[in-house]
């Protein structure tokens, strides 16, 4: 064989080897790219899941905080009416403030807390004994504490 023939065979072998190597390298690169994309998708899904959980937790905390403020405002209004009823001294409009606070409790819920708040208001309106009013307030406080306990799932 001549030198040209040997050179052509060598060049052809080198070209064929390069094509085969390139084909396998391309296939391996595509598999790596797919694996990287899959891993990236899983990582993005995990991040989105974490963000969703964080937002749900923040929403629950805001809800509990709003309820807590509503319950405290109700107790303050009830105490103002009770004090005015016992002493005869107090600012005017305590009844209106109590009615607004009761409406806020009814809106914030849950129903057990709203019922207990309504019982406090009923006892104050009937001018029941201070002990009866105090028992109704304690029932309200217990219901409110149960509603504010994040470990106890409530209706949302």
Instruction: Please choose, from the candidates 60, 70, 148, the residue with its C-alpha nearest in 3D space to the C-alpha of residue 106.
Output: 70
78: buried, middle or exposed (CB in 10 Å: 19+, 13-18, 0-12)?
Answer: buried
Distance between CA atoms of 65 and 70, rounded to whole angstroms?
9
> Which structure tokens are listed for 122?
């009923």
**pLDDT of res. 156:** 46
Q: Sign (positive/negative) of CA torsion 39, 44, 47, 49? A: negative
Q: Is there a contact between 137 and 119 (Cβ–Cβ < 8 Å)?
A: no
Tens of pLDDT, residue by residue, the chain (156 residues): 688 788 878 888 888 888 888 888 888 888 888 888 888 888 988 899 999 999 988 888 898 999 999 999 999 999 988 888 877 776 666 788 999 999 999 998 899 999 999 999 999 989 888 889 999 999 999 999 999 987 755 544
Listing DSSP states for 43-110 in one string gives: HHHHHHHHHHHHHHHHHHHHHHHHHHHHHHHHHHHHHHHHHHHHHS-S-TTHHHHHHHHHHHHHHH--
pTM above 0.85, yes or no: no
């Amino acid at each position: 064989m001549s030198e040209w023939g040997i050179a052509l065979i060598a060049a052809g072998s080198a070209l064929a080897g390069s094509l085969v190597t390139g084909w396998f390298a391309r296939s391996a690169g595509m598999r790596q790219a797919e694996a990287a994309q899959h891993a990236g998708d899983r990582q993005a899904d995990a991040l989105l899941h974490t963000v969703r959980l964080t937002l749900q937790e923040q929403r629950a905390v805001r809800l509990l905080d709003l309820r807590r403020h509503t319950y405290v405002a109700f107790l303050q209004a009830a105490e103002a009416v009770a004090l005015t009823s016992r002493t005869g001294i107090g600012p005017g409009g305590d009844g209106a403030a109590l009615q607004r606070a009761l409406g806020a409790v009814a809106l914030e819920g849950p129903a057990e807390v709203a019922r207990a708040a309504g019982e406090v208001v009923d006892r104050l309106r009937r001018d029941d004994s201070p002990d009866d009013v105090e028992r109704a307030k304690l029932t309200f406080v217990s219901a409110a504490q149960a509603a504010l306990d994040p470990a106890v799932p409530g209706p949302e």
